[in-house]
Structure 1
Amino acid sequence: MREVSSAEFTDWIAYSQIEHFGPQIDDLRAGVIAAAIYNVNRDSKKHPTPFGPSDVIPWLGLDEVKASQPILLDDPVAQSNLLRAALFGDRANG
């Protein structure tokens, strides 16, 4: 909160919805490449279903991200803290 204004923070949230960035997206990009290599070399009789990024990088948790619902809290400060923790991790609270 000391480094960015509320307006700038909101702009970054909006931008991240349009152009995804961060380490999780980097892992997804690497997973796409790894899955492509696996698929080129896989035995389609033993494994007929193609591999996807979540098959080679399981910590991505793509199913959890798709299935999750937005968390809306009544307290605006608690909502801001939740957003900050989700975007910047625990270090933002310190």
Structure 2
Amino acid sequence: MAAELTALDPKELVLILIALVGIVPVLLLRSSQSKWFMGGYLLLCAGALATNLEALALSGLFNVVEHGAGIAASGIVFFIAARKRSQVLAEGEE
């Protein structure tokens, strides 16, 4: 197990630590208007976790999760969140 843990990149371990610490305010401040942004952040956290897990086991699967959920899906969800938020703001100005 110790040999497997040395395969982990320290920068990627810091990434997962920051993601997990950052999830606390995201969950505490959630609202109906922020659910899409929260979903995007959770997908980024899943990608950060997959980045670390791929060094330990099932590298192909976790690589797909990292790029599919952590990058592609979170980008799409953040785009949807931004569109919905801009629509809400535009309706408020009219």
Decide which structure has the larger Cα Rg and report it.
Answer: 1
- The normalised TM-score by structure 2 is 0.36
Q: Which has the higher contact order (CA 8 A, sep 6+)?
A: 2
> If each structure's helix is expressed as a fraction of its own residues, which one has the higher value?
2
